[in-house]
Amino acid sequence: MVKFSKQFEGQLVPEWKEAFVDYWKLKKDLKKIHLLNNEKTESEKQTSSFSSKLVSYINKYTSLGPKQREHKVIQVHQKLAASASLGDTYETELLEQFSDTDAAIEFFACLDLQLNKVNQFFRTKEKEFLERGDSLKKQMEILIELKTALKQKRTKGPFQDSKEEDSISGTISCDEESVKDRTEQEQGLENSTDESDKNDMQCTECPTSGELEKSMRMKKEDGKFRSLSGRMINYQGKNLRIHIPMTNPTRTFSSITYLLWDDLVNQSSKKCGSDENKLHINKTKLHHAEKMIRGAFIELYKGLGYLKTYRHLNMLAFVKIMKKFDKVTNKQVLPIYIRVVESSYFNSSDKALKLADEVEELFIKHFAEDDRRKAMKYLKPTQRRESHSVTFFIGLFSGCFLALFVGYVIMAHITGMYRPESNTVYMETVYPVLSMFSLLILHFFLYGCNIFMWGKTRINYSFIFELSPTKELKYRDVFLICTTSMTAVVGVLFVHLSLVSKGYSSTQAQIIPGLLLLVFLLVLVCPFNIIYKSSRFRFLSVMRNIILSPLYKVVMLDFFMADQLCSQVPMLRNLEYVACYYITGSYKTQDYGYCMRTTYYRDLAYAVSFLPYYWRAMQCARRWFDEGHKSHLVNLGKYVSAMLAAGAKVAYEKEKSVGRLCLVVVISSAATLYQLYWDFVKDWGLLQFHSKNPWLRDELMLQKKFIYFFSMGLNLFLRLAWLQTVFNYTFGRVDYRVTGLCLAALEVVRRGQWNFYRLENEHLNNAGKFRAVKTVPLPFHEVDDQD
């Protein structure tokens, strides 16, 4: 049977852990009472007498009723709060002497503290969710009203122009504030990813409605430009501002098209001379607003579910700890204290439960066409069950991969392919393909290890990355992809090496590695619902966001993936070379040096070395633009230093002189120190001198502290891999390309361990703010007449 402490830890909301009952501290205090009781019992046995035994026997079986006895043990006082927001507090008074009264007083003081903490947190979160619920109900009313008006217009005017048919007209105020800039309001809004699949809607955090109103007032003083995504309208007596965040290309195009069409229709949006101009609210804009409101309802329902779990687990914790207390002290305290707990606010308030029922009813009615089963797929998505077949195929393909790899190594050793005097054509054309796939799959394998460790340490990576719980990759899925891919790669290259060793050097044999790469690319973009389609398309959308990073808001998954690309520069250079080799047709003549002789392709190869750092720097610039934190500019400097170091290495490769070597050493050393500081202090949150864990941080997910120090040392060692450029050390008769692959693999390993600590720090930041659900930006904002 699983212990309650393990069950409690496994079911609690990770981001709210500090707000739950500290069951482990209460157990520790109870253990102290138990040890003191045992010591006192042993001493009493040595000095006991017949009279003392007789007195204790009479006291035990006194004629007082059980109710009279239990009321003499403790009394819990309820202190009324000074304000309704604070809530009542509880304080326990001991009415009987315990074997160790001081330890009992300490235990009940801690117990009262936990009860007051739980009540206060529940009250705060309940108020937050109720306010969000009221706001969403108003949003829903506005949406229904606008959709009804649009529907009525379409039924009344069937012969109207299509543009007019798909829109309704309101009025837009032409005062100065109506065209103020709204980009500052977007500073607090996280990116809301709009998936092509209608079942997968990712939403992000934004400020509360109060912060939005405050932001609107600030716009009156500072705004000087016109927004593409927000306009203020007056519809049926309500002044509304419609705001659809430009978080993806579809919404950006829709917003720009909407504004241009509105300007063409009205022809007076820039003049503001009249009192009001017509504004068209089209069907597309209402569709975006509906998706935003639907996502907000889903997140609200999830938060209310967390609050229900919070109530249930805390109630169980109080019951369990009081049972243990009664067992240790032989007192009847449980009925007295549990009555107080049951009547306390967190257990007696039903506002959150009623709101959950209302949200469920509204969602079923307006977003699921009165189909409860369909609604539950959104509100309570079921986790994908782990299949034993996945584990079986992991083992099968692992065995196949090992067998093929051993055969490939033996054949390569016999033919001498990886020695300096080896077949140059093979090493220049086929080996880059193997190197590229090896680095890519090693990185993916380490990501699977990260997922496993994040799950073990209760790091909510799905929430941090905004992944769909029904479609996210589990660590077994990642391992299956890795083993299957490497089996296919090594198997194809084993066949190719067999053909080369037998003297087949024709065009048909040389095209095999290129076909292998083409097959993987076709699988990646395959539109059919096979081989993890949702994950493949999400990866492609993230890559699109990285390439266009200055143009769109940056979320956690975007810059996390961009950091991975910074560790895959050798893989990207190999990809560029292989693509050039096959696209230009050099494989037909085995002219592997063509791409390096041509200036255009050579410069492109050097540009690939800078692109990941450039993309990441642009993401930092965009985050600074959106949020205004100077730390993003400092982070941008880190990637600029990395670009300078890469440029110095490229210059040294072109001309190996002493001066350029010194330049490489100086710039790379400065960049390494910069990166190490950011890794340890910013990304990992370590090296806090005044922490209760010296040189680490206050909160640690791993129990053994030496692992953090070991990881910092390993990160330092792997960051110095660039020294190979200076010393140019060769390992025996191993080809220099193999040495380069090993160094690139070490950088991938460094990135793998960096990933774990980066998300650990992010998780602790969320937990510090008790942030367990995303707050979705809402489309409609009512504006006062004076605004």
Tell me the average pLDDT of the chain. Answer: 80
User: Are 247 and 193 within 8 A, CB to CB?
Assistant: yes
CB within 8 A of 511, min separation 6: which ones?
582, 587
Q: How many CB atoms lie within 10 A of CB 614?
A: 17
**Assign residue 112 a region: left if phi > 0, alpha if psi is -120 to 50, beta otherwise?**
alpha
Q: What is the pLDDT of residue 534?
A: 93
Longest dimension (CA), the chain: 109
User: What tokens does 437 get?
Assistant: 């796939």
User: Are 397 and 484 within 8 A, CB to CB?
Assistant: yes
**Residue carrying structure tokens 């779990």:** 309
Q: Which of 175-184, 440-449, 544-553, 727-736 has the lowest mean pLDDT?
A: 175-184
**Residue carrying structure tokens 């390096």:** 596
CA dihedral 168, 171, 177, 182 (to 10 degrees): 0
User: Are 246 and 252 within 8 A, CB to CB?
Assistant: yes
625 or 83, which is more confident? Answer: 625
Tell me the three state secondary structure of residue 597: helix
Sheet of 167-173: strands edge to edge?
A: 276-282, 167-173, 230-235, 238-243, 780-782
Q: What is the pLDDT of residue 162?
A: 46
pLDDT tens profile 52-64: 555 455 555 444 4
CA dihedral 391, 395, 396, 402 (to 10 degrees): 150
Tell me the three state secondary structure of residue 92: strand
Nearest to 352 by CA among 564, 572, 114, 126: 126
How is 143-172 classified by DSSP, letter by letter?
Answer: HHHHHHHHHHHHHH-TTS-HHHHTEEEEEE
CA–CA gap between residue 624 and residue 120 (Å, rounded): 35
Q: Please state the length of the chain.
A: 787
Residue 653's identity, in one-letter code, is E
The fraction of the chain above a pLDDT of 70, given in percent, is 76
206 or 744, which is more confident? Answer: 744
pLDDT tens profile 64-74: 444 444 445 88
Residue 78's identity, in one-letter code, is Q
Nearest to 487 by CA among 396, 418, 572, 574: 396
Q: What is the pLDDT of residue 181?
A: 38
Q: What is the pLDDT of residue 243?
A: 74
User: Are 228 and 243 within 8 A, CB to CB?
Assistant: no
Q: What is the pLDDT of residue 254?
A: 59
**755: number of CA atoms within 13 Å, CB side?**
31
CA–CA gap between residue 426 and residue 404 (Å, rounded): 19
CA dihedral 10, 12, 17, 23 (to 10 degrees): -80
pLDDT tens profile 366-384: 999 899 999 999 999 887 7
Q: How confident is the model at residue 194 (pLDDT cuts 50, 70, 90)?
A: very low
Question: Does the pLDDT at position 167 exceed 80?
Answer: no
Residue 180's identity, in one-letter code, is K
Nearest to 78 by CA among 320, 322, 315, 345: 345
Q: What is the pLDDT of residue 273?
A: 47
Residue 702's identity, in one-letter code, is L
CB within 8 A of 560, min separation 6: which ones?
465, 755, 758
> Measured on CA atoms in the order 296, 301, 304, 306, is the torsion positive or negative?
negative
Q: What is the pLDDT of residue 199?
A: 41
Q: What is the pLDDT of residue 760?
A: 92
CA dihedral 181, 187, 192, 193 (to 10 degrees): 90
Q: Which of 529-543, 708-722, 724-738 has the lowest mean pLDDT?
A: 724-738
> Measured on CA atoms in the order 256, 259, 262, 264, is the torsion positive or negative?
negative
Residue 506's identity, in one-letter code, is S
CA–CA gap between residue 439 and residue 572 (Å, rounded): 10
Angle at 254 between CA 208 and CA 215, to 5 degrees: 25
User: What tokens does 146 get?
Assistant: 């606008």
Q: How confident is the model at residue 722 (pLDDT cuts 50, 70, 90)?
A: confident
Q: How many angstroms separate the Cα of 480 from the Cα of each of 214, 387, 474, 610?
A: 50, 12, 10, 32
How is 266-298 classified by DSSP, letter by letter?
Answer: HS-TTT--SSEEEEEEEHHHHHHHHHHHHHHHH
Mean pLDDT for 653-670 is 87
178 or 714, which is more confident? Answer: 714
Tell me the three state secondary structure of residue 367: helix
CB within 8 A of 137, min separation 6: which ones?
362
Nearest to 561 by CA among 533, 539, 576: 539
User: Are 250 and 274 within 8 A, CB to CB?
Assistant: no
Q: How confident is the model at residue 278 (pLDDT cuts 50, 70, 90)?
A: very low
Nearest to 185 by CA among 217, 212, 162, 159: 212
**Residue carrying structure tokens 């991975």:** 564
